[in-house]
Amino acid sequence: MSVSHSPRPQWTPFERYRRSLWLLTVRDLRVRYSTSALGYVWSVLDPLVMATIYWFVFTQVFDRPVGEQPYIVFLLTALLPWMWFNGAISDSTRAFIRDAKLVRSTKLPRTIWVNRIVLSKGIEFVASLPVLAIFAIATGTPLHWQVVFFPLALLLQGILVMGIGLLVAPLVVFFRDLERATKLALRFLFYASPIIYGVSDLPENLHFWAGFNPLAGIFSLYRAAFFPAQLDWGVVAIGAVMSVVLLVVGILVFKRTERAVLKEI
């Protein structure tokens, strides 16, 4: 008696990529949280501590009027997405070096080793949003209709992080000092980005140039949900163009260096 076997599903390349990306992302999250007793708490503790420090410095010590009130909500609306950006770029510098054996031995598209970092850090960001909601409710901060721009902010930040990740991941394989240089650049970028202040706090003649930091426009989209006056479409437009340009450059650099990276690792 013959046993009939159901045919294996015929997945398109996109479907295989999507499934593999999700499996690797889930694996990363499980490994990260299974080895920690506090688990999810760590994903929000770092930005919460930082926000508390800056809130204390600018409201209790110097009493310097920056941003909008309540300042703790103003901080968190940019600090939480910054943690996604900072964590994804930092981890991307080790994307190929840390998993060198898997990168060499599997036939998965190599971009997946960067994109799974972008996705896992993005999920952590979304998981940290209840903290922002708690502070907004506790301080009586109203939610405005501009919250509809939140998906656009997510999309632009995903494009930006992916582009920079695809750019630095292969280059670090050839220039190991680039990993430390990236950390220094991220530290500088933290203060050069409107996190502890807003674009409106800058001199008028710097508003245009602020847009060339794509994070400025992205953060203004996030903040618009609670602080509509922070939304500057000129800054958003320039930042969106910059994000797309960085993605294109990242893809081109990645494709040109992929074979050399496989030999080097």
Please write the tens of the pLDDT for every residue from 127-180: 889 889 988 998 899 999 999 999 999 999 999 999 999 999 999 988 888 889
252: tokens are 């081109």
- Residue 128: partners with Cβ closer than 8 Å, 6 or more residues away: 43, 44, 47, 80, 83
Q: What is the pTM (predicted TM-score) of this model?
A: 0.85
The C-alpha atoms of residue 104 and residue 202 are separated, in whole angstroms, by 47
Q: Which residue has the tokens 């690792």?
A: 265
126 or 41: which leads in pLDDT: 126
CB 167 within 8 A of CB 160: no
Q: Report residue 254 CA to chain centroid gap.
A: 19
The C-alpha atoms of residue 117 and residue 25 are separated, in whole angstroms, by 7
**7 — phi, psi (to 5°)?**
-65, 145
Confidence category of residue 250, pLDDT binned at 50, 70, 90:
very high
SS3 203: coil
- Among the listed ranges 53-67, 107-121, 174-188, which one has the minimum average pLDDT value? 53-67
> In this predicted structure, what is the pLDDT of residue 1?
45
Question: Which string of DSSP letters, residue by residue, matches 93-160?
Answer: TTHHHHTHHHHHH--S-TTHHHHHHHHHHHHHHHHHHHHHHHHHHHTTPPPPGGGGGHHHHHHHHHHH
Instruction: State which amino acid sits at residue 259.
Output: R
- Among the listed ranges 98-112, 157-171, 238-252, which one has the minimum average pLDDT value? 98-112
